[in-house]
Amino acid sequence: MIESLAPLGEEYIETLKSFKDKRYIDVRETPGKCSGAYNFGVYGVHPFILLNHHDDLNSLFTLTHECGHGMHTHYSHGYQPRISAHYTIFVAEVASTVNEVLLIHHLLKEAKDANVRNHLVNHFIEKFKGTFFTQIMFAEFEKITHEMAQQGKPLNAQVFSDVYENLFREYNGDSLVFDEEVKYGWARIPHFYRPFYVYKYATGFASAIQIADKLLSGDPNAQKNYLEFLKGGSSDYPLNLLKKAGVDLTTPEPIESALNRFSELVEEFSTL
């Protein structure tokens, strides 16, 4: 993980190493410990990271993801006054996903075995599916059902199920065999209790792809710009903070760039 994050600079790396040395990261399962993975920060105190590491690829990506949140908290709290230290969800998932994208690039670069590379490419494709396309589908589900409510149309479980099933079929095409239970997928998404939360995963993922590309391209300003973004907290509007990191979400470019990367991955996977 540490090697993959080298494009973020020595200061970033040394700070992240100190998280481990100072035991800010709780990675092992213990009796009564909750599941999941979390970063928690209190202004004036170092970040805390909690997860259950199982010594597998998913755990490696989860740790890398949460360390991205932790470092975002470290920089934001360290460079902003209390009132603007807490960043928004819109930018939070950028910091965590940049780390994941850098990790997958590093692993692909180091992969010598064709089967290993095949697995890693598939992992990246599945990441696109879960963090980009599926979240957009969830967001469209929210948009449709909220519009129905505004129009005074009745909403119940059957309506939600019908809307969700239609979207699921539209997004997944005719190649899949659909179980009847697919239509109940909306009921397992707790994020719907926070309206219009989920689309930020997709925008964050697209932003992270573009930032990671800049960091890996040798752009002399990419590292500095990205660290300034991490230090920004909520001192400016999220779109403006992202522009400082080199991502302009007021244009189609970040989304188109992410879709181009997805096409490249699918093309490579089909030839492996």
Fold category of 3-124+198-271 in CATH? Neurolysin; domain 3 (1.10.1370)
Q: CB atoms < 10 A from the CB of 272, how many?
A: 11
- In this predicted model, what pLDDT tens digit does every residue of 132-171 receive, in sequence order? 999 999 999 999 999 999 999 999 999 999 999 999 999 9
Q: Which residues of the chain have pLDDT under 50?
A: none
pLDDT given at position 41: 87
Q: Answer whether 47's CB lies under 8 Å from 90's CB.
A: no
Determine the residue type at 200.
K
Our answer to whether residue 10 is catalytic in this structure is: no
pLDDT of residue 229: 97
- Give dist(CA 11, CA 18) in Å, integer: 11
- Confidence (pLDDT) at 235: 97
* pLDDT at residue 136, as a whole number: 96
Out of 66, 93, 100, 142, pick the active-site residue.
66
DSSP string, 138-198: HHHHHHHHHHHHHTT----HHHHHHHHHHHHHHHHTTSSPPPGGGGGGGGG-GGGGSTT-T
**Angle between helix 114-128 and 89-110 (nearest 10):** 170
- Domain ranges for the chain: 3-124+198-271
pLDDT of residue 154: 94
Structure tokens at 201: 């995963």
Strands (E), 27-157: 38-40, 48-50
What is the torsional sign of CA 133, 65, 2, 82? positive
pLDDT at position 105 is 94
Residue 116, pLDDT score: 93
Cβ contacts of residue 148 below 8 Å, gap of 6+?
Answer: 155, 159
